[in-house]
Structure 1
Amino acid sequence: MPSIALANLSWSTPDGRSLFSNLAMSFGPERTGLVGRNGVGKTTLLKLITGELSPRSGTVSVSGTLEVLRQSVQVAMDETIADLFGVRDPLDLLSRAERGNATAHELADADWMLEARIAGALARAGLEATAETPLSRLSGGQRTRAAVAALIFREPDFLILDEPTNNVDRSGRQAVIDLLAGWQGGAIVVSHDRELLDTVDGIVEMTTLGATRYGGNWSRYRERKAVELAAAEHDLADAEKRIAHVNRSAQETVERKARKDRTGNKKAARGDMPRIIAGGLRRKAENTSGENARLAERMRTLAMEDVDAARQKIEILQPLAVTLAPTGLPVSRTVLRIDDVTAGYDPQKPVLRNLSLEIVGPERIAVTGPNGSGKTTLLSMLTGALQPFAGEVRVPVKSAMLDQRVSLLDPALTIRDNFQRLNPGADENASRAALARFMFRADAALQVAGTLSGGQMLRAGLACVLGGPEPPLLLILDEPTNHLDIDSISAVEAGIRAYDGALVVVSHDELFLEAIGITRRLELGVSSA
């Protein structure tokens, strides 16, 4: 039976930082989602499995064939679907055989069912094309479907997928989801796409402490994590009760000793007790008092350790909840108006034609459509970076744009300094309080923006834009969940849910759009370019 086995696997970054050590797990013919925070080593683990990297120690044993679905399909101008499938030479042989130009030896090697198998794989991937179709003519989503078809054609024992739905339009994303949902072999998928992860048979969660396997799909995994959170909260309450009990008992012991000491001192003062006995009792009392204090301190230390452990677990498991200052946006206020706009980068081939849109009050608009349909063009107009060829764009209110790079942050400044730059009236206390609401507490607020991970960067951008005393009335987001781990997506969702202004967001993540309460959609068609 095909399998992948990891034994005592360890890996360190070039600067010596250990990502994981003594990792041991196995994968059979089931679909497994690999999740965990960015930087924990998920992609590195996939590269160790595929042989792109060699482990520092331990072994990777693979029984069966592997194929990798890349995030994007890079193509040359002359490449066709046949090249992607790796069947150019066998197809050429069939072509020569039809013309009568193949030798008897070549005819013996011919795969007469090849064309039918290619057509079947393309049909299963939902792509209307042939082996001769140039890849350069396909959209991004169609190229993803072509890559999916190539995997179906090769029928490997294991699929390896590393963030396969990043930067993919809805068509390509659905092709990947359908592929994994119907896959009968083994698969290991690293993804933050919760809809994709709902098609798997099990979840492996990687943390700095190792890896833990959970049976069932993403939804089942989240149910288990909710149970773990409830257990951690119960453990925290128990530990805090023990601390209170230890403190009360220690106080009661001190008070009892004080009463006994006062009685003994009175007897000694009256001369009711011989001096040698009084001295012995005093030493015994001191020893007992010291032992009681040490015992109480040990019990208090153990309880405090339990409290810290429970709080750390809760910090990891508990979803972020954010409270923001209200924008005060009236329901009748126009925040955006686009009148009969034609725009793009070449006047002869505009990307958007005759587009009109009006947003009034705290509406939440999702801009969707296949890659190339004009979503980025639209956002560029909203920010003033691009002027339309015809028509008018007006944004009569304070707005802010968060792109995937969060370019409004100065990478050379700390998060706190960025906050104060974008919110000039905020003092140190207000800045720290706002950043703490987005989990940048104490020294975390002093991290330099350029050193942050993608999830931290977007969370910092939200904190700086939304956490001030006067949040913008319109927030514009461009694919905010790309390259984020799932914990970061949850934090971003919490921040946006707490925002009461108007929202324009470009995203292919349907669960994200649902979570942030989208009220209307603008579906853009494929451009004529």
Structure 2
Amino acid sequence: MSTSLTLSDVTFTWPDGGPVFEHLSLTVGIGRTGLVGTNGSGKSTLLRLLAGGLRPESGSITAPGEIGYLPQNLVLDTGRRVDDVLGVTAIRSAIKAVENGDTTEEHFATIGDNWDVKERTRAILDRLGLGAVRLDERAGDLSGGELTLLGLAALLLRRPAVLLLDEPTNNLDLRARELVHREVEGWSGILVVVSHDRELLQLVDRIDEVRNGEVITYGGNLADYEHAVEVAQEAARRHVRAAESDVKRQKRELVEAGMKLDRRARYGQKMWDQKREPKVRMRKRQEDAQIAAGKHRNLHTDRLEGAVETLKAAEELVREDAEIRVELPETLVFQGNDVLRIDAVPRFGPPVNLHVMGPERIALVGPNGSGKTTLLRTITGELPPRSGEVGLFVPARLLPQRLDVLDDTLSIVDNVRRVAPSLTDNEIRARLARFLFRGATADREVASLSGGERFRAALAALLLTEPTPKLLLLDEPTNNLDLASVRRLTEALRAYRGALIVASHDRPFLTDLGITRWLEI
């Protein structure tokens, strides 16, 4: 049997006619593969094809054995018991029956080689930080992060030949992320993981990038991939510059050739007018000149067209990497100015004593459920504290995890118009263009936006709100964003001149923001 996961000439199109892959072939061998690409490029679709959740229109997919698949949004029946989710209920019951003296053959068939299932189950749960979870408790008693880890534990218990993980560290705190990282690093079979978690992608053996319906393979981890892309992009930009120079040269030579032919034509006309030679000879000379002129002109035209085509081909190799631009000088907070004072006990979580001055950048960290979101909502006044005081000295806005600051039934422009009534339509569109919503794109209904587009629209509405916020509160802003979107967000926040408080488990993102203070709760 093959030791590779293989796609052969696979074509897949969504029912609405949107093509995703056409005649795609791909081989994934033993080792850890990181699957990357922009939002909407088809990463999750490819993973579902590999898992068998989607069927291709044509082509084939073969695997060396059982496939274990952890979807991005794991949905579990909260009424099920933990051992049922783990798939060990029947085996546990059969072992218990045998231990009680029931030697029915059916029990032995159910158990198979899994006499150690209890020990293996507890060992895997312990490895994933679920040691306190009882096998007979309801899955609904666990947190969202614990349910994700439980889903991963169920896959590890099955010992599949292929493990497919779609954003396995989303919504996990730092400790849980580290546990998943350890499992990925120790996997010895075939593993394919879709993730924007930079630390996790540093652990893979190769990167497969989904781009324009194709999959491009790069050896090494995320850092190796980014270096290879940058080298290729620099070469592509050099080719564009060379092609642009050639186009200019060919245009100049075409003009010069035209001027030369015009001089020759005027000279020929002068000779004809002065009748210095017999008409037959002059007519023959004129015909020869016209033929030569045509060939000369066609030669330079062909060269120009060839240069233009070369330029187009070179430009296609250069990736569009437009970045969000934040140009809001009124957000500036001067050093020493009071921004926030809080000495209070939020409704949930520990007491907080925090004084923010000037354009500080504060990272709010701590395990899931520690009260980070409650603290952010307390600062904005959405949730009054149980006791104590909150003093807010500048306009502040919160971007929540759910991105529910937008009205899905309105366009992007209309959403901004609601919060910035003094801006004209042209001013709104000019500012939305800085968030990469240009032309008709700004008129799209919010409900039709992808995750990354919705995030940019929410950020735009937040920053354009009147009065402009000088304290920006972000709650897990990189969840569900692809690597390019995270990079754009980072650039946008670097340009923001107010104060920031960011709740996040994404350490590389926080480091890139230039955090000045870390607050753990």
TM over 0.5: yes
Using the size of structure 2 for normalisation, the TM-score is: 0.90
Is 1:409 aligned to 2:406, yes or no? Answer: yes
What residue in structure 2 maps to residue 348 of structure 1?
A: none
Structure 2 SS opposite 1:352: coil
What one-letter code is carried by the residue in structure 2 that aligns with 1:55? P
* 1:431-459 Cα shifts (integer Å, max 9, x gaps): 44433333333333333333221111222
**Which among 103, 127, 133 is matched to residue 124 of structure 1?**
127
Rounded Cα–Cα distance in structure 1 between residues aligned with 2:444 and 2:105:
68
What residue in structure 1 maps to residue 43 of structure 2?
A: 42
Do the aligned partners of 1:140 and 1:169 also contact (CA within 8 Å) in 2? no
Q: Greater CA deviation, 464-473 or 390-399?
A: 464-473
**Which among 78, 81, 105 is matched to residue 79 of structure 1?**
81
**Which among 233, 242, 245 is matched to residue 241 of structure 1?**
245
What one-letter code is carried by the residue in structure 1 that aligns with 2:518? R
Rounded Cα–Cα distance in structure 2 between residues aligned with 1:152 and 1:446:
46
Q: Greater CA deviation, 275-284 or 374-383?
A: 275-284
**Which among 319, 323, 328 is matched to residue 320 of structure 1?**
323
Alignment of 1:9-48 (within 5 A): 9-48=10-49
Rounded Cα–Cα distance in structure 1 between residues aligned with 2:427 and 2:80:
58
What residue in structure 2 maps to residue 54 of structure 1?
A: 55
What residue in structure 2 maps to residue 476 of structure 1?
A: 473
Rounded Cα–Cα distance in structure 2 between residues aligned with 1:306 and 1:216:
31
Q: Greater CA deviation, 246-255 or 466-475?
A: 466-475
Is 1:292 aligned to 2:296, yes or no? Answer: yes
Rounded Cα–Cα distance in structure 1 between residues aligned with 2:323 and 2:397:
22
What one-letter code is carried by the residue in structure 1 that aligns with 2:399? L
Do the aligned partners of 1:268 and 1:274 also contact (CA within 8 Å) in 2? no
What residue in structure 1 maps to residue 156 of structure 2?
A: 152
- Report the CA distance between 1:518 and its aligned residue: 1.8
- Report the CA distance between 1:63 and its aligned residue: 2.1
Do the aligned partners of 1:426 and 1:468 also contact (CA within 8 Å) in 2? no
> Which 5+ residue runs of structure 2 have no aligned equivalent?
none
* 1:262-318 Cα shifts (integer Å, max 9, x gaps): 3333333333233333333334433433443333333333323333343344343x4
What one-letter code is carried by the residue in structure 2 that aligns with 1:293? R
Alignment of 1:77-476 (within 5 A): 77=79, 79-80=81-82, 82-98=83-99, 100-103=100-103, 105=105, 111-129=114-132, 132=135, 134=137, 135-316=139-320, 318=321, 320=323, 322=325, 324-326=327-329, 327-343=331-347, 351-427=348-424, 430-466=427-463, 471-476=468-473
Rounded Cα–Cα distance in structure 2 between residues aligned with 1:186 and 1:42:
17
Rounded Cα–Cα distance in structure 1 between residues aligned with 2:310 and 2:323:
23
Q: Greater CA deviation, 172-181 or 333-342?
A: 333-342
- Report the CA distance between 1:127 and its aligned residue: 3.5
What one-letter code is carried by the residue in structure 2 that aligns with 1:261? A
Q: Greater CA deviation, 36-45 or 131-140?
A: 131-140
Rounded Cα–Cα distance in structure 1 between residues aligned with 2:199 and 2:340:
32
What one-letter code is carried by the residue in structure 2 that aligns with 1:33? G
What one-letter code is carried by the residue in structure 2 that aligns with 1:31? R
Query: In structure 2, do the counterparts of structure 1 residues 49 and 523 end up closer, same or farther at CA, with 3 Å as the change threshold?
Result: same
Aligned length: 514
- Report the CA distance between 1:425 and its aligned residue: 4.5
Rounded Cα–Cα distance in structure 1 between residues aligned with 2:301 and 2:409:
46
Rounded Cα–Cα distance in structure 1 between residues aligned with 2:430 and 2:221:
37
Alignment of 1:506-517 (within 5 A): 506-517=503-514
What one-letter code is carried by the residue in structure 2 that aligns with 1:397? V
What residue in structure 2 maps to residue 504 of structure 1?
A: 501
Rounded Cα–Cα distance in structure 1 between residues aligned with 2:89 and 2:188:
27
* 1:19-50 Cα shifts (integer Å, max 9, x gaps): 11111111221211111122222222222222
- Report the CA distance between 1:126 and its aligned residue: 4.0
Rounded Cα–Cα distance in structure 2 between residues aligned with 1:493 and 1:228:
23
Do the aligned partners of 1:9 and 1:24 also contact (CA within 8 Å) in 2? yes
What one-letter code is carried by the residue in structure 2 that aligns with 1:208? N
> Which 5+ residue runs of structure 1 have no aligned equivalent?
344-350, 525-529
* 1:441-493 Cα shifts (integer Å, max 9, x gaps): 33333333332211112223334444799842111212211222222121111
What one-letter code is carried by the residue in structure 2 that aligns with 1:11? F
Q: Greater CA deviation, 438-447 or 149-158?
A: 438-447
Structure 2 SS opposite 1:372: coil
What one-letter code is carried by the residue in structure 1 that aligns with 2:14? T
Structure 2 SS opposite 1:48: helix
What residue in structure 2 maps to residue 527 of structure 1?
A: none
Rounded Cα–Cα distance in structure 2 between residues aligned with 1:441 and 1:107:
65
RMSD of the TM alignment (CA)?
Answer: 2.7
What one-letter code is carried by the residue in structure 2 that aligns with 1:24? S
